[in-house]
Amino acid sequence: MSGKERCAGNSRYARILAAVLAVAAALALCVFALTGCGSPASSSAASGSTSSASASASSSEASGPATYVVTDGAGREVEIPTRANLERMYATSPIGQMYLVTLAPELLAGSNSTYSEAELKYMPGDIGGLPSYGTWAMNGTLDNEALIKADIQVILDVSSAAISDGDISAADELQEQTGIPVLLFSGAVDETPDTYRAIGKVLDMEDRANELADYCDKAYKDVTEAVAKVPESERVTVYYAEGPDGLKTEPENSPHFTTFKVGGAKDVADCDVTKGQGLTEVSLENVIAWNPEVIIAWSQEYRGGSDDTIRTSSDWASIKAVQDGKVYTIPCLPFTWGDRPPSVTRYIGMQWMANLLYPDVYNVDMVKVTQDYYKLFFSADLSDQDAKDILFLS
């Protein structure tokens, strides 16, 4: 073998030896890492695990407690889920349900009322598909067992007038029987804005609640200031025709006449108020003797009322309102604007009434008022024709 070849061979041998030594060194380092350095590695892993747990705990703390104590409209302290944990509510009657429909429809886990397609057209969400667990309205009852099984988290009870001792007792009893927190608020017409704000506060929805409350405040102020300009001697006499024959009504001191009264109507019904649900029975002879200038009636088409009968029947023909063509159907989609339930739609009802009776002092475009109200309260975009249909102007 030549010197050159030996040199080349030696060079290759050197390279191979270097490679072997490098691999050996690497293996030695690995063994060292797995033995002598085992504790630091474990410490690092444990540290990572602790950091993860700490972050989870911080996240839990940041989300806050699952429940908290609130004060309802009756001054009762009630523990309810925080807004982040609240998903399912139920109202004891249509009055309270209307507050939830307009404020937080996503929280409704059941409906205490059934609605027609015509009514559902103007309501948010899938309220028509919700189950019912009963109602306290019209002397009805709640299905306490079903409420418990449905895992209702909070029950909302809104009175038809100022809160009474009876309302408080009923709310306490329902809460005790079901173990479900019950929030009680006043449904009196002059307290509606405050009730909106109070419900909004306990549900952590103050911005939305204030928006609705501010509307109610302004509507009430505008209507009452306008009506105050009309002397008592010039107030328009009104008969409120309820029921299928129009011969049930409300005297002036009935909570079911409040919307009309705020709107400046002078009630002709000289009769006693029927406690509870109202609907005082009178005779046609009574109405003829009272001879009202205006008659407000329920829709025959949507509420089984008497508006068409009163306009066309010879039995009613001698009454001034009929003779003058002043028999009006009270708007009722998706809820009546006057009463039944006496709730938040009264604030558009009083505007309608004031404009109907005293257009010179309360001069507003009711089509536009209707569109604005339905957009704000029901998230419904009404065409001009929609609004006219609701107003029975078609």
Structural element, H or E, at residue 322: helix 320-323
Q: CATH for 230-363, among 3.40.50.620, 3.40.630.30, 3.40.50.1980, 3.40.50.300?
A: 3.40.50.1980
pLDDT in tens, 118-167: 999 999 988 999 999 999 998 899 999 999 999 999 999 999 889 999 99
pLDDT surpassing 90 at residue 210: yes
379 to 46, 104, 113: CA distances (angstroms): 53, 11, 20
Name the 3-class secondary structure at 104: coil
pLDDT surpassing 90 at residue 276: no
Confidence band, pLDDT 50/70/90 cuts, at residue 55: very low
> Who's near 276: CB < 8 A, 6+ residues apart?
139
Rounded Cα distance, 150 and 343, in Å: 26
Rounded Cα distance, 208 and 205, in Å: 6
382 to 121, 211, 374: CA distances (angstroms): 10, 20, 7
pLDDT in tens, 62-82: 557 899 999 999 999 999 999
98 to 60, 119, 123: CA distances (angstroms): 34, 13, 10
- Which pairing describes strands 89-91 and 154-158: parallel, antiparallel, or unpaired? parallel
Domain 67-220 has CATH 3.40.50.1980: yes
pLDDT in tens, 137-150: 988 999 999 999 99
% of residues, the chain, pLDDT over 70: 84
Rounded Cα distance, 77 and 248, in Å: 40
In the numeric block, which tokens belong to residue 210? 């204030």
pLDDT surpassing 70 at residue 12: no
Q: Contact at 8 Å (CB) between 340 and 278?
A: no
Rounded Cα distance, 210 and 191, in Å: 13
Q: Break the chain into its structural domains and give their ranges.
A: 3-63, 67-220, 230-363
Closest CA to 343 of 156, 117, 159: 159
